[in-house]
Structure 1
Amino acid sequence: MAFLRSVIHLLWMGITVVPYALTIMLGTLLGVRGLPLYRIARAWLSLCISGARTILGIRVEISGMEHLPQGDNAGAVLLVKHQSTFETFLMPTIMPHPLAYVFKKELLYVPFFGWAIGRLDMIHIDRSQRTQAFNKVVQQGKDLLAKGIWIIMFPEGTRIARGQKGQYKTGGTRLAIDTGAPVIPIAVTSAKVWPRKAFIKRPGVVDVSIGQPISSVGREPDELMREVEAWIEAEMRRLDPGAYPQAPAAPAADTTTQSGK
């Protein structure tokens, strides 16, 4: 049954992406830019998430929404635990501000999906040119944050298997420091139901926990990222304790006494 549901949901996404992507591309030809196109994309993502709930039985429980910065001009850099495609689709549907993803340029060549996101206010980079790529992230990031668009990044860089931890890279904290925006750490347990690179998805609950904003003012990128990493990984263990091996128990204290001859 899980296999059949997964096939149906994949077909659902594949069929519905076409009219939404074509609408976005047509809109750009007519001179439409910015928020209207984002709303079209978010409507399709909402369709995918509601389809996951109805077809796959995947529900979402969110905590910490009160931690998000308030106000139309409040900036933020979201640093999110990355376990599957699910949170990529989910985040724009729950956030009060438009989001701009930082993503590799290869995604632009994915039919319909890539063609559409290439016309949105997103930041696509060439990973082979690291210095130029980061300069582009900072330059575009400043412009987008000034428009009230939040930047979202996955600090581990790729999807990480359930119960595992990748290497947290400092691109997100460097951007936050350069722009003065706070960072928002977010833990997501999507791999419980939608594992990394798995075709078959299973019913269950995805927990999303939003941490309190962490100021980037006067911070160093490495030090700030260590704080983000510590919060996310501790929260992942709280939300999904079964995925993480228990620390070995400390050896019992030796209460015996020895007497020398």
Structure 2
Amino acid sequence: MFRSVLHLLWMVVTVIPWTLAVLLVSLWPPRTRAWWTAVSWFRVVIWGTRKILGVQINVLGLSNLPVGQTSAAVLLSNHQSTLETLLLPTLMPHPLAFVFKRELLKVPFFGWSMARLDMIHINRESRTEAMKHIMAQGCRLLAQGTWVIMFPQGTRLPRGENGTYQTAGTRLAVQAGAPIVPIAVATARCWPKEVFTKQPGVVTVSIGAPIESAGRDPKALMREVEVWIEAELRRIDPEAYPAV
């Protein structure tokens, strides 16, 4: 509990000056400068996660990431914790655009920073409009070298739960002609959903080989992504999937 309180204070104290920095830097182009300023705060939080909480991070498959300044990619990951939203940007060589609900923009400081970044914020109440927005903004961002990251399950899930994988990410990849990079994260063992007390230990992030999307059916493509992620989760976090 003491570690968790100290870590929360670390995040609160550091987010204020970094938010001010992001707001200031975002006033001048290019907007990617604001992104990398935000990523520097993510790195500070991850440093605190390691040193204060005692959480060690094991990353597999970094060599699978596409190379090149203009290479496009749609990252599709399972979602267990807040940790991966802070960690994944620190691992990527390109700016990322998260797809997230518009309500997060109201969160003090953190949401204000996100509002100044080139992200895709959607209104979940209108699925049709949300999908059109994802397609339009996603294709624009991919064309300029920003990678789009989505959590196809839609929300954080406890360890061992599958959930339903939605096809918005694969539809975007097919329309934009961008490869999909599947990612499996086993972060809830140390940073569970809606639990304040964090646990020390080792979490694993596994990055899979890119999957080409050209000419693919989005539903079949998402099924392939789901099969890889779920199989990889059972490999990197077997304790969450006890044998029957």
TM over 0.5: yes
Q: Does 1:228 align with 2:225?
A: yes
Pick aligned residue for 1:41 from 38, 41, 48: 38
The amino acid across from 1:6 in the alignment is S
The amino acid across from 1:75 in the alignment is A
Q: CA 1:33–1:116 in 2, change beyond 3 Å: closer, same or farther?
A: farther
Quote the Cα distance in structure 2 between the aligned partners of 1:182 and 1:80.
14
The one-character-per-residue Cα deviations of 1:23-44 (angstroms, maximum 9, x if unpaired) are 222333x434411100110000
4+ long deviations beyond 3 Å: 30-33
Quote the Cα distance in structure 1 between the aligned partners of 2:163 and 2:88.
20
User: What number of residue pairs does the alignment pair up?
Assistant: 244
- Could you say which residue in structure 1 is the equivalent of 2:15? 17
- Could you say which residue in structure 1 is the equivalent of 2:121? 124
Gaps of 5+ in 1: 248-261
- Could you say which residue in structure 2 is the equivalent of 1:107? 104
Shift of 1:22: 1.3
- Could you say which residue in structure 2 is the equivalent of 1:90? 87
The amino acid across from 1:227 in the alignment is E
Shift of 1:242: 1.0
Quote the Cα distance in structure 1 between the aligned partners of 2:173 and 2:36.
25
Q: Does 1:164 align with 2:164?
A: no
User: Greater CA radius of gyration, 1 or 2?
Assistant: 1
The amino acid across from 2:56 in the alignment is R
Q: CA 1:102–1:74 in 2, change beyond 3 Å: closer, same or farther?
A: same
Quote the Cα distance in structure 2 between the aligned partners of 1:56 and 1:194.
10
TM-score (norm 2): 0.98
The one-character-per-residue Cα deviations of 1:2-54 (angstroms, maximum 9, x if unpaired) are x00000000100111011111222333x4344111001100000000010000
Q: Find the residue that maps to 1:192 and give its secondary structure.
A: coil
- Could you say which residue in structure 1 is the equivalent of 2:25? 27
Quote the Cα distance in structure 2 between the aligned partners of 1:96 and 1:150.
10
The one-character-per-residue Cα deviations of 1:36-93 (angstroms, maximum 9, x if unpaired) are 1001100000000010000001111111111111111110000011100000000100
- Percentage identity across paired residues of the two chains: 56
Quote the Cα distance in structure 2 between the aligned partners of 1:199 and 1:32.
38
Quote the Cα distance in structure 2 between the aligned partners of 1:165 and 1:102.
20
Q: Does 1:239 align with 2:239?
A: no
Gaps of 5+ in 2: none
The amino acid across from 1:22 in the alignment is L
Q: Does 1:154 align with 2:151?
A: yes
The one-character-per-residue Cα deviations of 1:191-218 (angstroms, maximum 9, x if unpaired) are 1100111101011111111111111111
Q: Find the residue that maps to 1:194 and give its secondary structure.
A: coil
Pick aligned residue for 1:145 from 142, 151, 175: 142
The one-character-per-residue Cα deviations of 1:155-202 (angstroms, maximum 9, x if unpaired) are 100000011111100010011011010111100110110011110101
Quote the Cα distance in structure 2 between the aligned partners of 1:217 and 1:178.
8
Within-5 A mapping of 1:172-191? 172-191=169-188
Quote the Cα distance in structure 1 between the aligned partners of 2:166 and 2:152.
5
Quote the Cα distance in structure 2 between the aligned partners of 1:185 and 1:154.
10
Quote the Cα distance in structure 2 between the aligned partners of 1:245 and 1:60.
23
TM-score (norm 1): 0.91
Worse-matched range after superposition: 121-130 or 18-27: 18-27
Quote the Cα distance in structure 2 between the aligned partners of 1:33 and 1:181.
23
Q: Does 1:79 align with 2:52?
A: no
The amino acid across from 1:10 in the alignment is L
- Could you say which residue in structure 1 is the equivalent of 2:67? 70
